[in-house]
Structure 1
Amino acid sequence: MSLLDNAAHVESLTVLSRFRTDLYGCLPARADALFELTDALLCTDGAVRSLVDLTLTPEHRRGHGALYDALNCGRIQEDRLRAVLASLPLPKSADGRIVLAVDVSCWLRPDAPTSSDRLFCHVYGRAKNQAQMIPGWPYSFVAALEPGRTSWTAILDAIRLGPADDATAVTADQLRAVVGRLIAAGHWADGDPDILIVMDAGYDVTRLAFVLADLPVQLLGRIRSDRVLRLPKPPRLPGTTGRPPKHGPEFALDKPATWPQPQHTTTTATTRYGTAIATSWDRVHPRLTHRTCWIDHEGDLPIIEGTLIRLQVDHLPGDRAPKPVWLWSSAIGATADDVDRCWQAFLRRFDIEHTFRLFKQTLGWTVPKIRTPQAADRWTWLIIAAHTQLRLARPLTADLRRPWEKPAAPGRLTPARVRRGFRNLHANTALPASAPKPSKPGPGRPPGSKNRKPTPHYDVGKTVKRDLTMTARQQRTG
């Protein structure tokens, strides 16, 4: 190993050890048990199949009672941990731009009637065009994306959506807080490119663009292919009488006859999708006609203009028939390079799906049968802390591949392969947890006694009915 490689190795190990120390400082109650539970996640062999099996690993030096007590009664300073995550090295695109992805992943709990704050989560069925609504806890994640095809992301925040929450309002507050922490950590300064935030069709991207207009961000989201948008209003000719229009002609995404001449058309050759053709139209906006989510907006409804992008490729993986993808960006006056940067960043959004798959299938995020949502929040943050340590340990672990697996290129280890070699690295990192003290198990419930305090059952779904019109709001407040 050269001196340069040795210095980089020492620096990476220092960053990992510092994060482990900071993580321990974010645990004010049951710190030792929570910290060793995270180590057990990182050092156990194979996927996590049950929560209690983690107590059998050598890194977890406490009993199963301490594990459940830590999840049920422990504490995690979430705001402090969020600041620690924002201070870590952050991946950026080739032009130095920070690209964030926001998405929701659900912890399904259909058989938990005694668990509160469950919502109906949209789940795709096995058959074509089939979907189900299953009770569970939805979590909104924000992650920084890396350039190029990879299964790595940097998780920066997670919030559980409750029955009384407006998903768009919660997402707006979440993104505002994440951007503020990134600016405070020095990842963005005046003169840097705007932070690009990518999202899928489940978000109201135009409303988020209006709410976050004061931040140095650019929003990009997929919209449905049957939407009808509006072009900018035409210039008013001299001598025209009557009320001037607020909107221009209709732009129906599924009716090419309504499409005007595009501002830019780019062609890019890709190795995965063939030739990609991106067409863009400037200053396209939706026509807001109903108050609904704009019930608190004073005055006339705003006109939120942006760039509309249509992406068409030759083929999809698996010889599936390609359909055009429609994207809307909050940027106005985008150039051809900006259009290419947008749709390429949108393709990188799917990297967060690899992170969700790792959380659920390998780290066992949705495996425990936890009753309270507060304990679920603690377990979720431990999963995020474990994934962050895997990301920091990428340049430190060796490729311990199975005989039937292909060798991975240097620096291209997947999170599962890094986790496979984390146990060899564990002893060289900071170990702030103290040794366990000898104790005796509690007496438990006396034999023959009955539980005279049954656990209450909770309904599933929203608990707050929002006003949809100004008349309904005036009747309720009047």
Structure 2
Amino acid sequence: MSVVDDATRVESLSVLSRFRADFYDCLPARADTLFDLTDAVLCAEGPVTSLVELSLQSNFRRGHGALYDALARGAVDEERLRSLLVSQLPDEPLMFGVDASTYPRPSAECSPGRGHHYAPCRCDGDRKTIPGWQFQWITGLEWGSSSWTLPVDVARIPPGSCSVAASDEQIRRVAHHLDHLGRLRIDGRPAPLFIHDQGYSASGLTHALADVPVQLLVRIAGDRVFYDGRPAPRKPGPGRNGVHGHRFELSAPVNLRRPDQMLVVPDTRRYGRVEVRAWHHMHQKVQRNGYFADQYPQLNTRLPVVEGTVIEVRVERLPDGRSPHRTMWLWHADPTGTPPDIDVLWRAYLRRFDMEHTFRLLKSELGWTAARLRTPEQALRWTWIVAVAYVQLRLARHLVADLRRPWEKPPRPGRGLSPHRVRRGYRHLRERLGTPSRLP
């Protein structure tokens, strides 16, 4: 190991130790128990399948009663913890993924706040509803080829809540912490990019966040209809002329309007030939329901025209070799007025799939949905514990040894360890880190 590598490891160890101490300060009640619970999640042998079993870990120096008492009566200073998580973002153009995941509680008939939320079903792969709680996550994404993310915010979405209002509140919180750290507006860098999957109202999010200097990238369904806002030919007879302009159907086999921007990437490693087209200053006819019904309750008020860029992405093949059965459509909005870089945007959306790897690890390895908790408040505290545990794995990814099994392949050159392998070696690193928590 070179002197430079050794110095980097020392710095990484210092960053991790400082993060653990700062996290301890974010626990105003039952701090020692909650901190030990986080270490128990990280150091458990194998996947976490039972919450009470964590009380048997050597790192958890209390009984099972204290474990449940900490989740029931403990506290997490969420704003302070959010600020701590945002401060761990790398020094590069910022990109975030926004997505919701279900915490299933189908058998907890007496638990309050449950709703029917979509969740994947193992029986046929279809999405079915299941009773439980829904949590929306915002995670920092990396630009390179990596499955690592950085959760910076999580919130429970009560049943019946407006997804636009919930996303607006969370994004504003993240933007506030970025502004406090001086990273919201940096000369020479694009505004932070927040990426949403299909299912969010692109026009609603753009309207709600019009006063926040962030970019939005939202996947939209292929059956949507947009308008270009150009004056239509004068209609004969009385009446107002059309205000929306020419119709632009995404499902049309051939769009007659020429794109404002076009990019062709002849050959990519995973997708082959990629064609990207963009049409600027497009808008939808928004309806007076959902978010816009709350913002414009008076029926005699005119609904706004929310403009953005519609992007079409066509690929030659999928990573598994199959041919794509549909085109991907994206919506981009930037209130700063900066012209979009479509080459960056289509690649940025692909990084959103890293959130799926994070959710899979949180559920299958760290036991996020394995805990059978009584109230949504307890589930939120447990969610923060699991999120912080994942962030510690991320900070330790260059500090642990690769304890791979004989049948496992070594990581490819230039690629670090996966989160699963980092967790396997974390318990040995924990002995060097120590703990700020006190003995009972």
Taking structure 2 as the reference length, the TM-score comes to 0.92
- The whole-number CA distance in structure 1 between the counterparts of 2:289 and 2:102 is 29
Q: Is contact 2:231–2:243 with CA below 8 Å preserved after alignment?
A: no
How many residues are matched?
Answer: 430
Q: 1:164 to 1:257 in 2, by over 3 A?
A: closer
Q: Is contact 2:401–2:425 with CA below 8 Å preserved after alignment?
A: yes
1:417 to 2:415 alignment: no
- The whole-number CA distance in structure 2 between the counterparts of 1:274 and 1:240 is 53
Q: Select between 309-318 and 34-43 the one with higher mean Cα deviation.
A: 309-318
- Note the C-alpha offset of 1:51: 1.2
- The whole-number CA distance in structure 2 between the counterparts of 1:411 and 1:427 is 26
- Note the C-alpha offset of 1:388: 0.8
Q: Is contact 1:233–1:245 with CA below 8 Å preserved after alignment?
A: no
1:163 match: secondary structure = coil
Q: Is contact 1:206–1:330 with CA below 8 Å preserved after alignment?
A: no
- Note the C-alpha offset of 1:163: 2.4
Describe the superposition over 1:190-213 as per-residue Cα deviations: whole angstroms up to 9, x where unpaired. Answer: 423111111111111221111111
Q: 1:129 to 1:383 in 2, by over 3 A?
A: closer
- 2:374 corresponds in structure 1 to 371
- Note the C-alpha offset of 1:410: 5.4
Counterpart of 1:360, as a letter, is K
Describe the superposition over 1:442-461 as per-residue Cα deviations: whole angstroms up to 9, x where unpaired. Answer: xxxxxxxxxxxxxxxxxxxx
- 1:61 corresponds in structure 2 to 61
- Note the C-alpha offset of 1:60: 1.1
1:43 to 2:43 alignment: yes
- Note the C-alpha offset of 1:32: 1.0
1:189 to 2:185 alignment: yes
- The whole-number CA distance in structure 2 between the counterparts of 1:12 and 1:344 is 29
- 2:276 corresponds in structure 1 to 278
- The whole-number CA distance in structure 2 between the counterparts of 1:309 and 1:178 is 26
Q: 1:288 to 1:432 in 2, by over 3 A?
A: same
Candidates 290, 304, 310, aligned match of 2:288: 290
- Note the C-alpha offset of 1:228: 1.0
Candidates 85, 88, 104, aligned match of 2:100: 104
Describe the superposition over 1:178-228 as per-residue Cα deviations: whole angstroms up to 9, x where unpaired. Answer: 111012123333423111111111111221111111111110111111111
Counterpart of 1:91, as a letter, is P
Q: Is contact 2:192–2:214 with CA below 8 Å preserved after alignment?
A: yes
Counterpart of 1:35, as a letter, is F
- 1:471 corresponds in structure 2 to none
Candidates 134, 138, 148, aligned match of 2:134: 138
- Note the C-alpha offset of 1:293: 2.4
- The whole-number CA distance in structure 1 between the counterparts of 2:421 and 2:409 is 12
1:138 match: secondary structure = strand
- The whole-number CA distance in structure 1 between the counterparts of 2:222 and 2:428 is 50
Counterpart of 2:152, as a letter, is L
Give the gaps of 5 or more residues in structure 1: 437-478
1:398 to 2:401 alignment: yes
- 1:243 corresponds in structure 2 to 240
Q: 1:9 to 1:129 in 2, by over 3 A?
A: closer
Identity of paired residues, percent?
45
- 2:438 corresponds in structure 1 to 434
1:421 match: secondary structure = helix
Describe the superposition over 1:399-454 as per-residue Cα deviations: whole angstroms up to 9, x where unpaired. Answer: 11111111124551111111111111112224111112xxxxxxxxxxxxxxxxxx
- Note the C-alpha offset of 1:170: 1.2
Q: Is contact 2:100–2:134 with CA below 8 Å preserved after alignment?
A: yes
2:348 match: secondary structure = helix
- 2:71 corresponds in structure 1 to 71
1:230 to 2:227 alignment: yes
Q: Is contact 1:18–1:430 with CA below 8 Å preserved after alignment?
A: no
- The whole-number CA distance in structure 1 between the counterparts of 2:338 and 2:173 is 27
2:432 match: secondary structure = coil
Counterpart of 1:423, as a letter, is R
- The whole-number CA distance in structure 2 between the counterparts of 1:410 and 1:58 is 35
- Note the C-alpha offset of 1:123: 2.1
- The whole-number CA distance in structure 1 between the counterparts of 2:254 and 2:149 is 41
Q: Is contact 2:185–2:191 with CA below 8 Å preserved after alignment?
A: no
RMSD: 2.2
- 2:303 corresponds in structure 1 to 301
- 1:454 corresponds in structure 2 to none
> Larger C-alpha radius of gyration, 1 or 2?
1
- Note the C-alpha offset of 1:173: 0.7
Q: Is contact 1:250–1:258 with CA below 8 Å preserved after alignment?
A: no
